[in-house]
Structure 1
Amino acid sequence: MENFPPVNTVRAGKMKLYKYKSLANLWHTLDVIVNQRLYCAHWSELNDPLEGRYEIYLGEKSAKLESIMTSRIESAKNTYRVSSLSADPTNFLMWSHYADGHKGVVIEVEVPEDHEDLIQVAYTPFLSVFTDKVQTKEDMRHLFNGKGEEWSYEQEYRLVTEEKFFQLPVAVERLLLGPLVSKEQESILRRIIPEKLEIVRMELDRVQGTLKVNSPNKAIQPTPAPLRFAESADS
């Protein structure tokens, strides 16, 4: 396979990544925290209809060969599952799209930076191109390295695996509550979640159009990008 989006290599160590979740099904959140694992959805369940797209280029070679290759690629691709994470816990649109309109939570997890299943998504207009060269299993994983540039706000990292769950190497230590989580919900969460897990509430700055983490731990604070609006035709 050629011309696939590159895998962004990362140095050895652990990195903090963030899982945006709705509280509509509390079990899903508790499963991550209590069972110390991330659910990996089949790639076809993801919300991008162009997920895993590719092109086969064979020049003058027969359509029969293309059909055989397509069958092999689809068969291999269908073995993969994906868990999506973000590098940014303060992304306004991510809270809107994946955390129930700021009424959900973000779970902070640690993943080894050099784990073989971890991929940093590359945002590119280019798609994977297969030729008549022999494809490897790693080539199939590369199908999930790239997304269109319009998705770049997600700052996504992925765990690409054949397993239904990814076991986290260390326990979850922090849960971020959306600014619109009710006080009643917060009270319930604080009673059922282990005390050693820090629960902090996000703060919404309505003037700047940004979110920040209300925590004494400054290491968690990325530089938030303000919510920008297009200028009107009259301005």
Structure 2
Amino acid sequence: MTSLIIHRVTTLDLAVRPIVWPFAEERRAEIAAHFAEKQRERPKIWNGRVLLGRDAVFTGSHLSATYFEADFASFLAWRDWGFPDKAVFNGFGMGALLTSDGAFVMGEMAQHTANAGRIYFPSGTPDLDDVKDGALDIPGSVVRELGEETGLTAADYRVEPGWHCIVAGPSIAMIQIINLDMPGDVACAKIEANLAREDEPELSAIHLVRGLSDLTPSMPRFVTAFVEQQFASR
């Protein structure tokens, strides 16, 4: 099992730079074949542009790193082949939805997505829409993904300051607690109503986590580690 480290961070400094990724260049033909196979399995996935990180440094309550642009096909191959380039990490923001009665809200990814069946907080691999003034805007990414996946707006929640950065091998999940101004059953009903209005929602189901017994193997380890820590501190 991959060991995890959880850092409490108040500031993020994530510069975006034009960097050539040797893995993507050297294995282009293999990557293209791999992506073609994945598209046969899930025709809805597409080869957009994403941002990956390198050179992450935690100093006190500060995280700095450099991000670069890559195509989704290369990212998918890197992930599926066991992360062969150890200098690169997948660093993304997550909005940990916390209801007024103390439950965490997670979504189950729909079958047409690249992470079908996985259950976690609203999030996504950063892309070019998340770049602001030459830097990766993780707070903006969290708000964007939250709106796209659940339909919730700023009127529904309050964002806690600071980040829980969970380092799990080649991943860094930058988790921010999002306090919902409603209990769990109301939150679920509201999100499910939003999903029902979409032709092809990213989420297929909503899950409430009220205790450790609600955690499942379909939830990534960095998500369950965060939840375990949160419940232990109550």
- TM category (shorter chain) comes to under 0.3
Higher strand share: 2
User: Which structure ranks higher in relative contact order (CA pairs < 8 Å, sequence separation ≥ 6)?
Assistant: 1
TM-score, scaled to structure 1: 0.24
TM-score, scaled to structure 2: 0.24
- Greater radius of gyration (CA): 1
